């Protein structure tokens, strides 16, 4: 009897220790600043890796198989890498008996990627790409034991099949002109959402896009197009400069990409920017015009046959264009409604919070109507509403309730 009581008491003590240990673990500490980095003599200072400033980046010397060594005075349990350029392949290795042993295969799907470690104190990131190149990172974070912080991005693959494809020209356009649409449909309504950009603009802004989407609750990786960021004032100039090789070749390249995008992700609905380019940006006009043409092109297997053969033809059911059409027929969204799955924050609040991650765009201003006006999501409604969208094309009839991008769309999983 005494023995049974002793065993029960011991069990409770052990359970208490386990609960105390779990409770005390808490959020993992960022120990990056206490780590030492081994870099080649031609590399920039390693402080750029851990300054938290995405505009300052680190790169190695140009060579075959460049690497970055990380040693820590305490066990490492997490490694978060924000690449500036992605090598074709890489591995995470640990030192074992003065030799380097592969620990984890590098994931080249995501430019921001997190790896769980097992208490190693000496590791390195080794590029296994064979030709000479630089290993380039915007930021790097090393964590001790505990729960991974919520801000650390652990992306899921892009949705294979989309209910809605939000297609914009540049990182931050999805916030300024679509406002609360993405968190509302992706997180609150749990629809299958794909966010796609014509261009990532530059390598810093690609990281800013990922930081902004993650802040809004998006967990499926976006699509970044292969095109350069080119400012133009006309649609023809935008096609020529964006696609390259002259107007016809540029137009064909851009429309081929958009058509392939529609076929690959098979969206029921596409939402895009203003035909007039909001304040007149040529690439905003291009992405709207490309979606309008792509609506029919994607459905015709004779057009761009390579993507038709790869993915099949696809009929998008509805296309919405920012600010399109008469006000009486538009959808007028209210992005100030609290979202229960996002701690009561509104879609507009989340868009504004996400916009703060776009540090390089924070002070950007454009001439609109002859006046210099700041461009930020919390004030854009004064100049061009980010709540109003018109149904440009439909295969399922006109909207009646006019309160939902997915009105008349049936068979959603």
The CATH number for 362's domain is 3.40.50.10320
What gap in Å lies between CA 254 and CA 152, rounded to an integer? Answer: 33
Q: Please tell me whether residues 106 and 199 are part of one structural domain.
A: no
pLDDT 10s digits, 116-162: 999 999 999 999 998 999 999 999 999 999 999 999 999 999 999 99
Residue 285 is assigned to a structural domain of this protein: yes
What gap in Å lies between CA 168 and CA 350, rounded to an integer? Answer: 18
Q: What percent of the chain has pLDDT over 70?
A: 87
Q: Please tell me whether residues 212 and 100 are part of one structural domain.
A: no
Domain housing 246: 164-394
Confidence of residue 4 (pLDDT cuts 50, 70, 90): low
Residue 151 is assigned to a structural domain of this protein: no
Q: Please tell me whether residues 235 and 377 are part of one structural domain.
A: yes
Nearest to 166 by CA among 230, 218, 211: 218
Contacts of 213 (CB under 8 A, 6+ apart): 174, 182, 195, 222, 354
Confidence of residue 367 (pLDDT cuts 50, 70, 90): low
Residue 156 is assigned to a structural domain of this protein: no
Q: Give residue 379's pLDDT.
A: 46
Residue 18 is assigned to a structural domain of this protein: no
Structural domain count, the chain: 2
DSSP state, residue 185 = I
Q: Please tell me whether residues 95 and 184 are part of one structural domain.
A: no
Computed over every residue of the chain, the mean pLDDT equals 90
Residue 17 is assigned to a structural domain of this protein: no
Q: Give residue 26's pLDDT.
A: 95
Q: Please tell me whether residues 280 and 174 are part of one structural domain.
A: yes
Q: What pTM was estimated for this model as a whole?
A: 0.90
Better-scored residue on pLDDT, 362 or 191: 191
């Amino acid at each position: 009897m005494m023995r049974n009581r002793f065993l029960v008491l011991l069990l409770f003590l052990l359970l208490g220790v386990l609960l105390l240990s779990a409770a005390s673990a808490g959020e993992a500490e960022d120990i990056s600043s206490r780590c030492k980095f081994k870099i080649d003599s031609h590399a920039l200072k390693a402080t750029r890796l851990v300054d938290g400033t995405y505009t300052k980046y680190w790169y190695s010397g140009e060579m075959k198989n460049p690497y970055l060594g990380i040693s820590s005075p305490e066990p490492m349990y997490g490694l978060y890498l924000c690449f500036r350029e992605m090598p074709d392949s890489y591995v995470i290795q640990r030192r074992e008996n003065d030799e380097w042993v592969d620990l984890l295969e590098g994931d080249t799907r995501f430019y921001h990627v997190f790896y769980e470690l097992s208490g190693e104190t000496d590791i390195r990131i080794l590029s296994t790409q064979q030709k000479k190149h630089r290993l380039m990172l915007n930021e790097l974070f090393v964590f001790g034991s505990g729960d991974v912080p919520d801000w650390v991005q652990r992306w899921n693959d892009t949705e294979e099949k989309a209910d809605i494809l939000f297609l914009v020209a540049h990182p931050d356009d999805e916030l300024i002109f679509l406002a609360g649409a993405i968190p509302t449909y992706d997180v609150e309504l749990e629809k299958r959402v794909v966010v796609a950009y014509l261009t990532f603009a530059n390598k810093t802004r690609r990281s800013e896009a990922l930081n902004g989407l993650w802040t809004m609750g998006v967990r499926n990786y976006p699509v970044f197009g292969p095109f350069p960021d080119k400012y133009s004032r006309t649609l023809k100039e935008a096609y020529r400069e964006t696609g390259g090789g002259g107007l016809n070749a540029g137009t064909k390249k851009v429309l081929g990409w958009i058509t392939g995008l529609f076929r690959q992700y098979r969206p029921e609905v596409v939402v895009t920017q203003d035909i007039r380019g909001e304040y007149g940006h040529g690439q905003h006009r291009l992405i709207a015009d490309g979606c309008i043409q792509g609506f029919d092109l994607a459905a015709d297997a004779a057009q761009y046959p390579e993507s038709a053969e790869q993915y099949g033809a696809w009929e998008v059911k509805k296309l919405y264009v920012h600010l399109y059409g008469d006000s009486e027929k538009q959808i007028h969204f209210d992005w100030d409604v609290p979202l229960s799955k996002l701690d009561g924050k509104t879609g507009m609040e989340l868009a504004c919070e996400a916009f703060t991650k776009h540090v390089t765009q924070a002070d950007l201003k454009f001439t609109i109507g002859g006046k210099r006006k700041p461009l930020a999501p919390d004030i854009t409604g004064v100049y061009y509403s980010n709540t109003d969208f018109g149904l440009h094309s439909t295969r399922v009839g006109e909207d009646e309730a006019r309160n939902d991008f997915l009105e008349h769309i049936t068979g959603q999983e």
